[in-house]
Chain A
């Protein structure tokens, strides 16, 4: 009974994995296909990767994606770290509801976040237009642009918005693990609060900051839905470009670029997980000592 049971569960497991990963494996295999087909294997080649790197549109969106991810990660990491420290020194009555608010964007459907940000930007631009006309009519020295559109700027703001909660979530526990007398001790030994922050708090929560930044970067790189609603027509991320390509023609180039995106995200996630596992082991060791 037990054996057949375990056999059944193994088959089930295998099926789950097939459904989950077969499409990705297929995609990776066909990215190395020599022909134009997505169904018939015509021999190994790297021609789609070559084409990819010569495609100006794709390379432009790779550049945009990397820049947006990098900038939004840096901004979100700084803002999120300070926010986490703010949360940490709050009273529990205030902190707990705020943490719940912080967690909502992560649970929230991307499409809701995307649409609402989009609506927000449009509303703001309308207001800005009126304000700029009024301001320009008042004086002739500074001329404000009256028509703002969505583009790189709004894309960056959107990415910063959805990245901050991840940073807060990974820095918060590090702060709570920290001996709360450490800051007092640093001040006792001659530090101002700011010096204590740099010399003691930052080194203590550094692992949390780094995992937070890595998570934010990963989220940023593979985001599609929120970017789609906030990028306007002038900026395009890699995910958006791939989506656009599938509408026109199904080219194996898509396989190649998707494979590269998949591998990048996989590597980043692996780094995050390995770091966390190592941290846990170190903490366990510290407890035993």
Chain B
């Protein structure tokens, strides 16, 4: 797409001897929308704070445009941040909040030929640039309001303007939509993507909301327990998850123990299924991912597998049904209603099957026996408090 802008090399971080990041290696391209995605405590916010310069890594390097910037303080980096809960200055009005960074800047005096003399940015230019930002975030006429007189969504946009007005090369966003309600969050997702394309700079976005990540990102970095699990485009991550953790975290998945009989043939429940995967050893134990929407319900006699419906939930566009196959419960999304207790057959097309190598996460996810609780967790997009609190201990 374009050239590399930031590289993280063997980044490790520990608070009080407790490892938070383990050997994170990552490069970020110019003008890219990259999302760090993972559950709370996975190290995504720490990674962001290291890029911003608020936290110094225990070991490893941060390179910006090929230059090591580990020891460069935040105010000297060409990076600006939109903080969780915005961190607007309560004692300043909207105009002064946005103008804050510009008022701090000193640049070479154009009237001084040696270029050594530093001058403030003229008031006229500050005014024009702030007004231009207010235009971009559609908050013209709000410049004299104090932050507490704005709604959450408006404060959010002021925080973005306050960062962007400095024309940084990179904008870091730490769960910026966490405090907004669902409807506003959806609008702001589109708005953020539009702003990113309009200003044409790199966005590094931190979230635990997989849907948000899929909607906005060019690249998603899935993290857990301080390590990167997978890097890829939203399509890659969804269609070709690398391990059970990624498959479970992104979208809904049934993850079943299987054996790769030979290329393009996997065995589950003692039955062989044709698939598209290859490159495994013969008879290698594997994890098989089947997305709930890739399963067709067919009459019992035509089914590759036969199971019993144990739970049906109406979701508007589809039914979420839980089907018991020999004690392992699957989630199936279908537009056809099947009553609880019914015996049904299922059929899976070869492209609906994704085979993964066994990993440390094998056997931890993908069973829908505790269906209802798991569903609640996934819908819960509240702000992550535990990760935030861990900063106290720095």
Contacts and interface: CB of A to CB of B under 8 A. Distances in A.
B75 A179 contact: no
Contacts of B149: 289
A192 B72 CA distance: 12
B221 to A, nearest CB: 22
B11 to A, nearest CB: 19
B232 interface: no
A200 B81 contact: no
A181 B87 contact: yes
Contact of B73 (A182, A186, A187): A187
Majority secondary structure, B binding face: mixed
A200 B89 contact: yes
B319 interface: no
Contacts of A199: 100
A179 B90 CA distance: 10
B162 interface: yes
Contact-size category for B:
20 to 34
Contacts of A91: 392-393
A41 B358 CA distance: 100
Contacts of B54: 184, 187-188
Interface string A76-101: 00000000000000011000000000
A199 B89 CA distance: 10
Interface string B381-394: 00000000001110
B215 interface: no
Interface string B67-91: 0000001110001110111011111
Which residue, of B53, B73, B74, B105, has the highest number of chain A Cβ atoms within 10 A?
A: B74
A91 to B, nearest CB: 7
A111 interface: no
A87 B105 CA distance: 31
A282 to B, nearest CB: 9
B74 A188 contact: yes
- Nearest 5 CB-CB pairings of A with B: A190-B104, A181-B87, A189-B101, A181-B83, A185-B87
Interface of A: 91-92, 179-182, 184-192, 195, 199-200, 203-204, 285-286, 289
Given A188-B79, A189-B104, A195-B104, 15 more contacts: A179-B87, A184-B52, A184-B54, A185-B88, A186-B100, A187-B53, A187-B54, A187-B73, A188-B52, A189-B80, A189-B101, A189-B162, A189-B166, A190-B105, A203-B91
30 contacts: A179-B85, A180-B391, A181-B85, A181-B87, A182-B89, A184-B52, A185-B87, A185-B89, A187-B53, A187-B54, A187-B73, A187-B74, A188-B54, A188-B81, A189-B80, A189-B100, A189-B104, A189-B162, A189-B166, A190-B166, A191-B104, A192-B73, A192-B75, A195-B104, A199-B100, A200-B89, A203-B89, A285-B148, A286-B148, A289-B149
